[in-house]
Structures are given as structure tokens and as C-alpha cells.
């Protein structure tokens, strides 16, 4: 019930194209859904995040779409650039069934994005 | 956002030894976390480092293997004890600020 399932595992996109990464969750206690970008040899960096009372959030070329009823959310990268090539992780934050561990993030499996020039 | 530093950035250690990783934050934070990222894998929470009390460990992680200290609101250490090659991973410190968690650069550990 604590899992976050992410797909695809890897994604290849041409420069200028749209990259789409999907995540699904089961725990309805999750209340915050961030996306992280990680370059090789670096720690994950927060990219964009959304709360479940909002269906969409856009920041520059990055958009999160959130479907609360389906318990799914996705990251869209518009006009993808070679510099966007990285590993992307979705995550979800919330308490467990016992109401503890608040603040803990559960991560998806990650998506390796490659943007060809 | 908080600026997080970790020491060492990388290390190569022998089987059976221990390594202590330091995490320093440039501001006082209530919540600090330690994660493990095995090669090519996602992040797994090891424990929540609580200031002034014992850390809270996730299932599969125990204090004897991963002792954690949190002496104040800007600093924490994670020790990887009695290491084996299976402990080769990136170890990441994270802090919570508001709704967000920020990550340090990580410590890349290789155990021979």
C-alpha cells in the first residue's frame, strides 16, 4: 500500500519533443507529490510538486497532471532538451496506516530520460 | 532552500570496517532523513534522524548496522557498520522544510 509505481523505466525523446512519465499510488493518505531530477553523481533535486487538491501545476516547461480518482500523476516535459537528460523520480509523502512517519517520502523506481539532439 | 553538505563525498572501504558519514545543513531543521540508493536503483529511506532522541528506522534497517546521531538541528551522522560489498551504495542525507524535502549531494560508498 506504500508503493509508488513509475513508468516507463527508460525513455528516449528527440529534442523538442514531449517527455511523459507516469506514476500511480494506492495509499490515499499521501498528501504531497514531488518530482525529483537526478544527474549522475548528484543528489536528487526538487523539480516540481503538487498537492492532491490541484489537478495541474505548470512551471516553465514542466507540468504535473494529477488525477485523484485514478490515483495517478504524471510529469510532462515540453520542448525537451538534451540538458534534460537525467533520471526522474516521482515520490509521495504522507503518513502510514498508523498515522506515523509523517514527512516520509516513498519514491517511484525512476525513469532514465535521454533526449537526443 | 537549505544548503546541505555531506562528508566524505566518496570512499572505498574494506569489508568488515565502518564508515561514518556526516551531514551538515546551513539552517536549523526539524526533520532529517537518511536514504540509501543502490546502484541504478531508487531511493530507500533508512531512518528519520530525531534531534535529542533515537532515530526511527524503517523496516529492514537496524540501529546496530546503521547507527545515527543527531546532536543538534543542523548536523547528523550515519555510520555504516561492519560493511560488506552489499553496502556499496550512495547514501543521501535529506532535510524537510515546509512541505518539501531537499537532498544533499550524497556519499558514494564502495566496499571491497
Q: How far is CA A16 from the centre of its chain?
A: 20
pLDDT attached to residue A98 = 44
- Mean pLDDT value across chain A: 91
pLDDT in tens, A5-21: 999 999 999 999 999 99
Q: Which of the residues in chain B have pLDDT under 70?
A: none
Residues of A with CB under 8 A from a CB of B: 32, 34, 36, 41-46, 49, 51, 89, 93, 101, 103-110
What CATH number has the domain bearing residue B96?
A: 2.60.40.10
Please answer yes or no on whether A89 and B42 come within 8 Å at the CB atom. yes
Cβ contacts of A89 on chain B, cutoff 8 Å: 42-43
Out of A51, A105, A109, the one facing B101 most closely (by C-beta) is: A105
3 state DSSP class of B38: coil
Write out the residue range of the structural domain in which residue B57 sits: 4-111
Task: List chain A domain ranges.
Answer: 4-116
Q: Smallest Cα–Cα separation from B47: which of B77, B12, B84?
A: B77
Total tally of structural domains belonging to chain B:
1
Cβ contacts of A1 on chain B, cutoff 8 Å: none
pLDDT attached to residue A2 = 62
pLDDT attached to residue A99 = 43
Distance from CA of B33 to the nearest CA of A (A): 8
pLDDT attached to residue A113 = 98
3 state DSSP class of A84: helix
Domain A4-116, architecture per CATH: Sandwich (2.60)
pLDDT attached to residue B28 = 92
What letter does residue A60 receive in the DSSP assignment? T
Confidence bin at A117 (pLDDT 50/70/90): very high
Confidence bin at A101 (pLDDT 50/70/90): very low
Q: Please tell me which residue, A103 or A2, carries the higher pLDDT value.
A: A103
A/B interface, count of CB pairs below 8 Å: 52
Amino acid at each position: 500500500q506504500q508503493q509508488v509505481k513509475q513508468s516507463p523505466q527508460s525513455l528516449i525523446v528527440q529534442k523538442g519533443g514531449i517527455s511523459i512519465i507516469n506514476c500511480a499510488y494506492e495509499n490515499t493518505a499521501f498528501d504531497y507529490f514531488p518530482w525529483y531530477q537526478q544527474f549522475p553523481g548528484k543528489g536528487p533535486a526538487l523539480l516540481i510538486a503538487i498537492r492532491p487538491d490541484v489537478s495541474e501545476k505548470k512551471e516553465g516547461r514542466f507540468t504535473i497532471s494529477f488525477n485523484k480518482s485514478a490515483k495517478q500523476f504524471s510529469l510532462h516535459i515540453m520542448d525537451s532538451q538534451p540538458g534534460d537528460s537525467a533520471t526522474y523520480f516521482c515520490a509521495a509523502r504522507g503518513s502510514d496506516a498508523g498515522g506515523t512517519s509523517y514527512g516520509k517520502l516513498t519514491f517511484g523506481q525512476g525513469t532514465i530520460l535521454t533526449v537526443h539532439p | 532552500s537549505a544548503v546541505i553538505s555531506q562528508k566524505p563525498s566518496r570512499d572505498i572501504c574494506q569489508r568488515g570496517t565502518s564508515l561514518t558519514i556526516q551531514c551538515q545543513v546551513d539552517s536549523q531543521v526539524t526533520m532529517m532523513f537518511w536514504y540509501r540508493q543502490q546502484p541504478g536503483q531508487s531511493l530507500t529511506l533508512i531512518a528519520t534522524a530525531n534531534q535529542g532522541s533515537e532515530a526511527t528506522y524503517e523496516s529492514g534497517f537496524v540501529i546496530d548496522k546503521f547507527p545515527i546521531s543527531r546532536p543538534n538541528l543542523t548536523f547528523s551522522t550515519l555510520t555504516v557498520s561492519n560493511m560488506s560489498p552489499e553496502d556499496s551504495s550512495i547514501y543521501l542525507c535529506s532535510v524537510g522544510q515546509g512541505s518539501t524535502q531537499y537532498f544533499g549531494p550524497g556519499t558514494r560508498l564502495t566496499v571491497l
